[in-house]
Amino acid sequence: MAYRVVVIGLGLMGQRMLRSMSPHPGFHVTRVHDVDRSLTRRVADSIDAVACATAPEAMGDVDLVYIATPPSSHLGLIRAAADRGIAVFCEKPLATDVAEAEALVSAVEELGIVSAVNFPFATLPGLERIESDLRSGAVGRVERVEIELHFSQWPRTWHHAGEWLAGRGEGGFLREVFSHFAYLTHRVFGPLSIVDSRVDFGDSQSGDSQPGGLATERRVIAEFECAEFKCAEANQTSVAVTLVGGVGGTAPDFNQWTVFGSKRSYRLQDWSLLQVSRGDRWYDLFPGDSESISQLDALAARLEGRESVLPDLRVGLDVQRVVEGLLAG
Say if residue 39 is in the same domain as residue 153.
no
Task: Flag whether 322 is in a domain.
Answer: yes
Give the end-to-end CA distance of the chain in Å, rounded to a whole number: 47
Say if residue 253 is in the same domain as residue 193.
yes
Task: Flag whether 300 is in a domain.
Answer: no
Q: In which domain, by residue range, is 53 found?
A: 3-118
Closest CA to 266 of 159, 127, 152: 127
- Residue 229 pLDDT: 93
Per-residue pLDDT band for 213 (boundaries 50, 70, 90) equals low
Task: Flag whether 161 is in a domain.
Answer: yes
Closest CA to 247 of 171, 164, 325: 171
**Contact of 310 with 299, CB cutoff 8 Å:** yes
Task: Flag whether 306 is in a domain.
Answer: no
**Contact of 275 with 269, CB cutoff 8 Å:** yes
CA 28 to chain centre: 23
Task: Flag whether 298 is in a domain.
Answer: no
Element (H, E) at 7: strand 3-8
Q: Say how many domains are in the chain.
A: 2
The average pLDDT across 76-93 equals 98
- Residue 212 pLDDT: 40
The average pLDDT across 93-120 equals 97
